[in-house]
Structure 1
């Protein structure tokens, strides 16, 4: 405890009363009064105009990046400017001066963030789609439509559109589809598409991909020992990368136990040791609560500790087995409470080591130290033997899952670039490509180019960014069949078929884009048309004949025409 690096509960912030008493002793107690500015309240047309202005400003900045010929955006940040092509990164960087306009921008920012959190890609399309829905919705409300009726109708319609797209999606077929999806998501970068396809080929469709910076100019793919854990950080206060909301550790010490940690005294010796070693500490426990969690969080925020924790995955006896697997990967000793291995008695030798730890909100990726390879292979052989001997279907499934996690390893894409700006841009593109590819593998693919959306705004903007008249392209898309649209790279309409052009888009992203727009929907526009019929208090009819763009003509369209009215929704 005499060490200069010692950690104790005394490192918590002093109570306010102690600080006040000290100031009183040193002299006269000073008081400061801070008054907030008065709130500006707006109603009706003024508020709607301000909201729409904010929506337009943010969506315009994000929308210029859409499509294969979209532009980049330069963000003026501390240090060198950042050149990005990622919708959610741009959206998060924009704050408007006017509070009411900023509220409108926040709507689009939320759509982009939700889409990114759920699907990992498709954020620009979601932003453009939300902007168009809001614009037409506000126009309808200004014309006298009942916003509640419109909102209820669109909620029901969104579900119908998602179901239709799900029915039309097809599974990914081999490396060609994977390469095409990854390349398109990375801004039509064939090199990134090939790299993602190579990485998935090495670790399999259920494998794990990790992205990190390279020490050279080259971008390479290596397969290393490691695994993914289906648990995220216990507290968001552990986050080290605020932009991505993740925890990133290198050469971390790992403590693994099935015990609940409630008192800081239980882990105080280990905290002191890792602080002396200047190594991050990654804790896996049944749970961390009360004083222990509060002390870890406070000391982490004050920069005294570099620590993060997750709850142990799985349940019951299977939890012990999974924790033993993790212990093998990291070279740690599993501190099991039924064996009397208490956390407060843990030593440095019982800690494991991970070359890299990445903790997301719901998952954690471990990349093991190279010395663990032989132990991992021995563990896999043991599990395969157990798999061959079991008669239980459930045990067979769980053993196969554990074997896949251990044997698959982690494909590490080491990104190289000549400058920091280029490196950040390439990492963002590879991250988008990775997320889109796994979404496609899991859920299937549909035609890209914005042709599968109820609103044709994405397809129109893709054409506009390519220097082509968007409305002309939209009309040609509407006259075409389901798998035909506009390819902005070749500037040739009607060449978008899945088997013809290779222009494909993950169905899961379509689903998330549609679902993310739902919370801000007040009206729907389909085929660039929304018609108001009857009096202001009457029913609003919204033509959704092109619920799936390129639906094949008027005869096929009548099946999805509908009315929105009061409580009835879509009829």
Structure 2
């Protein structure tokens, strides 16, 4: 197929337009006074969204060259969401600012490949400063982080309560509730870092996730390459249930193909998951799963073969969920006394081990087994509200876990504003960096103010009049509570951390890194290639149908 190619100035113009169109839509949602974005669906009511990455995912532009710019920034937003769970709008706003500033400098004659070094050095500087600024999160701050991310104090309190109960390594899942109120329930369960064996097991194509309710769970440390050995077991299973989860060392070849075909045909509902861990640790983790679910590990170490599997060997759970990289067992139906004994055994092993590595792995197992699962059932009045609320709760859970992991920094874009005021080009000048490299550094410095400016604009205030006041206040960790901000004249700086206006360090760090990475790619692109769509020939217009016989005059 023929391709269309554009170069240089035209490339930058198209990419910049694409970035701007996506960023304008996404940035609307930034901050507590950010607005909603309504997205048309081909059927039913439109989705009303207050979540940056969800807006970004919906955007496809008509112009293929502009669309490339939009898709690159969408990648920055998605990566930020995947790693930190929040900060997608900040990442998009930053990327747009860096692209705009960078294109100005390139148009004025700067070399983008040299400028790139300055951008990267500025990124390293910002990340190091954020880490110095970070503070460990107190228990009282957990609800504040969740509230800011979810945009709702009641939801923030519920998320904090759930994480307090299960711990930072525990599992919090978000489900669609049946009523108007949002509630939490706790169940025995665990999560491990191995996902499904094939994407054909997916039940939610939008999120590429699979789940099965009330399954039988077959647990083995063997590789399953053919299902011949399991046929007697499968025949007895289909008489009582169609739901089967297999956790095995590996499922491959004919066995995997047979399971997939039977799932697609509806013979039985299957989910195959790879066993977690390696070596002896894998055997221990499989035993943990067996005790949690009330099953038996089928292993040659215990003299068991796959041909001998019966329904009694299977574990049970309320639900098993998996995506490409993780799996989750919710509501394990094992014997509570055996589970307590297993937890006590792991605690003794932690006390007795002399290896730091072994202790760390044992503590991970203990957290997974003893933490359980908190299920937040999100309630809402309408389907549209429910979907938006569920997305916000998911983001808030991930952001709160990020805060527990790496700590917090002052929120309200104050951390980035403070770093921008302290960034000093003199270090690069002393190192005899080239002019264009210094420009790259300064581009990031100026762009760090963009999230604050957008935050204030969304609150309906002129950011230009407030920025000088904000720069001075940021040096002491002070900023403005946007919810109480009425005018420039009445704006009084407050201590952001004391006010509970905080951001997870991991979220801000990831947003900056991804924004600089994507903006650098855009600024160093000199040619774009797209396919020229084939013109569809319109069918030749036929002549008028002939008259009926005998009708001539």
Contact map agreement 2:26 2:56 (CA 8 A) in 1: yes
Contact map agreement 1:136 1:524 (CA 8 A) in 2: no
Match in the other structure for 2:146: 182
Q: Within 5 Å, give how 1:407-556 maps onto structure 2.
A: 407-453=370-416, 454=445, 455-482=448-475, 483-491=477-485, 493=491, 495-522=493-520
Structure 2: how far apart are the matches of 1:366 and 1:284?
A: 11
Q: Deviations over 1:37-93 (max 9, x none)?
A: x43222222222222111111111111000000011112223332111111111111
Q: Deviations over 1:205-256 (max 9, x none)?
A: 3322111122322211122111111222333443322322322222122111
1:71 is matched with which residue: 28, 32, 35? 35
Structure 1: how far apart are the matches of 2:125 and 2:521?
A: 15
Tell me if 1:113 matches 2:78: yes
The structure-2 alpha-carbon separation of the partners of 1:180 and 1:495, relative to structure 1 and needing over 3 Å to count, comes to farther
Structure 1: how far apart are the matches of 2:401 and 2:380?
A: 25
Match in the other structure for 2:219: 256
1:239 is matched with which residue: 181, 202, 215? 202
Match in the other structure for 2:287: 324
Contact map agreement 1:484 1:497 (CA 8 A) in 2: yes
The 10-residue stretch of structure 1 (127-136 or 282-291) with the greater mean CA deviation from structure 2 = 282-291
The 10-residue stretch of structure 1 (268-277 or 440-449) with the greater mean CA deviation from structure 2 = 268-277
Match in the other structure for 1:7: none
Q: Deviations over 1:432-459 (max 9, x none)?
A: 1101111001101011112333421111
Q: Secondary structure at the match of 1:40?
A: strand
Contact map agreement 1:485 1:493 (CA 8 A) in 2: no
Q: Within 5 Å, give how 1:144-183 maps onto structure 2.
A: 144-174=109-139, 176-183=140-147
Contact map agreement 1:448 1:496 (CA 8 A) in 2: no
Contact map agreement 2:18 2:70 (CA 8 A) in 1: yes
Match in the other structure for 2:296: 333
The structure-2 alpha-carbon separation of the partners of 1:392 and 1:43, relative to structure 1 and needing over 3 Å to count, comes to closer
1:212 is matched with which residue: 162, 170, 175? 175
Structure 2: how far apart are the matches of 1:496 and 1:150?
A: 37
Tell me if 1:126 matches 2:91: yes
Contact map agreement 1:496 1:502 (CA 8 A) in 2: no
Structure 2: how far apart are the matches of 1:447 and 1:87?
A: 21
Shift of 1:407: 1.7
The 10-residue stretch of structure 1 (208-217 or 504-513) with the greater mean CA deviation from structure 2 = 208-217
Q: Scaled by the length of structure 1, what TM-score is found?
A: 0.80
2:54 is matched with which residue: 80, 86, 89? 89
Q: Scaled by the length of structure 2, what TM-score is found?
A: 0.82
List alignment gaps of at least 5 residues for structure 2. Answer: 417-444, 524-553
Q: Secondary structure at the match of 1:361?
A: coil
Shift of 1:366: 1.1
1:46 is matched with which residue: 10, 15, 20? 10
Structure 2: how far apart are the matches of 1:129 and 1:388?
A: 47
The structure-2 alpha-carbon separation of the partners of 1:268 and 1:132, relative to structure 1 and needing over 3 Å to count, comes to farther
Structure 1: how far apart are the matches of 2:334 and 2:358?
A: 30
Structure 1: how far apart are the matches of 2:182 and 2:461?
A: 34
Match in the other structure for 1:353: 316
Q: Deviations over 1:300-344 (max 9, x none)?
A: 556665333332222222221111110111122111122232234
Match in the other structure for 1:100: 65
The structure-2 alpha-carbon separation of the partners of 1:392 and 1:65, relative to structure 1 and needing over 3 Å to count, comes to closer
Structure 2: how far apart are the matches of 1:481 and 1:79?
A: 46
Structure 2: how far apart are the matches of 1:154 and 1:366?
A: 44
List alignment gaps of at least 5 residues for structure 1. Answer: 1-35, 526-571
Contact map agreement 2:221 2:248 (CA 8 A) in 1: yes
The structure-2 alpha-carbon separation of the partners of 1:277 and 1:62, relative to structure 1 and needing over 3 Å to count, comes to farther
The structure-2 alpha-carbon separation of the partners of 1:398 and 1:115, relative to structure 1 and needing over 3 Å to count, comes to closer
The structure-2 alpha-carbon separation of the partners of 1:113 and 1:304, relative to structure 1 and needing over 3 Å to count, comes to farther
Q: Secondary structure at the match of 2:4?
A: coil
Contact map agreement 1:355 1:368 (CA 8 A) in 2: yes
Q: Secondary structure at the match of 1:521?
A: helix
Shift of 1:179: 0.7
The structure-2 alpha-carbon separation of the partners of 1:463 and 1:212, relative to structure 1 and needing over 3 Å to count, comes to same
Number of aligned residues: 487
The structure-2 alpha-carbon separation of the partners of 1:301 and 1:98, relative to structure 1 and needing over 3 Å to count, comes to farther
Q: Secondary structure at the match of 1:480?
A: helix
Q: What root-mean-square deviation, in Å, do the aligned CA atoms of Structure 1 and Structure 2 show? A: 2.5
Moved over 6 A (4+): none
Contact map agreement 1:209 1:412 (CA 8 A) in 2: yes
Shift of 1:297: 4.3
Q: Secondary structure at the match of 1:205?
A: coil
Q: Which has the higher contact order (CA 8 A, sep 6+)?
A: 2
Shift of 1:397: 4.3
